[in-house]
């Protein structure tokens, strides 16, 4: 069964460093998303992406964040200068259509020291 | 501000019993509704989706939606210890440029053997 994959599973970085989180969405899906979950808190929407551009972004998704679909399969989230409060689990998701189920990848656990 | 509310629990039920999980949402424009299961440290896994008023059954799971009351629920029949997890209610807001899931805080279910 097709699934969303994410790499790396864990990332430890120093404050101020850049990180890139990678995702391979389900192959026939057209809508891509990033969510994050701080330990013990709810899953929060970061950004949605369709037709090679951002559809919507939350207030969390500031100028330090960017997304890209560099080729036909990968979808990346870049954090330019990480902060301690960026420590969280980051989930990529994809869906075939706007209203349909979003399928989540296994997540990348990011720890900023 | 779009909100999704859930009782955080824990909800403790004996093995074989029915577990009832509830969720309310604030925006009448919400269009599709999902229940995800999340084990500790893992990603959300789809249990059920529901789009129209009424009941939807899938095996031991039944989702119920009442748009007039802005209420969605999940019943788990014949609960098993393996059902012990956090159950996340998610509401999809989409249309135009908007396309995102808003999650509740989740209800922790503990099924006692």
pLDDT tens-digit map of A57-104: 999 999 999 999 988 789 999 999 999 999 999 999 999 988 889 999
Q: Which pLDDT value is given to residue B93? A: 78
Q: Which pLDDT value is given to residue A2? A: 84
Of B32, B90, B100, the CB nearest to A48: B100
Distance CA B39, CA B1 (A): 28
Of A48, A50, A103, the CB nearest to B46: A103
Do A50 and B104 count as a contact with CB atoms less than 8 A apart? Answer: no
**Among the listed residues B50, B56, B44, B58, the one whose alpha carbon sits nearest the alpha carbon of residue B86:** B44
Do A42 and B104 count as a contact with CB atoms less than 8 A apart? Answer: yes
pLDDT tens sequence for chain B (113 residues): 778 999 888 999 999 999 999 999 998 887 899 999 999 999 999 999 999 999 999 999 999 999 999 999 999 999 999 999 999 999 997 766 677 999 999 999 999 99
| Chain B residue whose CA is closest to A88 | B41
List Cβ neighbours of B53 (8 Å cut-off, separation of 6 or more): B65, B66, B67, B68
């Amino acid at each position: 069964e097709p699934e969303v994959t994410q790499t790396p599973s864990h990332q430890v970085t120093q404050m101020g460093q850049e990180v890139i989180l990678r995702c391979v969405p389900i192959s026939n899906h057209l809508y891509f998303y990033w969510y994050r979950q701080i330990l013990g808190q709810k899953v929060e929407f970061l950004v949605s992406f369709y037709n090679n551009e951002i559809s919507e972004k939350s207030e969390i998704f500031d100028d330090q964040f960017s997304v890209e679909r560099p080729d036909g399969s990968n979808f990346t989230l870049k954090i330019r200068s990480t902060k301690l409060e960026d420590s969280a689990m980051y989930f990529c998701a994809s869906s075939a259509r706007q209203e349909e189920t979003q399928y989540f990848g296994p997540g990348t656990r990011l720890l900023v020291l | 501000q779009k909100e999704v509310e859930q009782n955080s629990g824990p909800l403790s039920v004996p093995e074989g019993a029915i577990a009832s999980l509830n969720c309310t949402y604030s925006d009448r424009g919400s269009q599709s509704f999902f229940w995800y299961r999340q084990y500790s440290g893992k990603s959300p896994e789809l249990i059920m989706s529901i789009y129209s008023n009424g009941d939807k059954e899938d095996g031991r799971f039944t989702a119920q939606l009442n748009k007039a009351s802005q209420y969605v629920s999940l019943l788990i029949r014949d609960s098993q210890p393996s059902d012990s997890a956090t159950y996340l209610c998610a509401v999809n807001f989409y249309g135009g440029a908007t396309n995102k899931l808003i999650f509740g805080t989740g209800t922790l279910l503990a099924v006692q053997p």
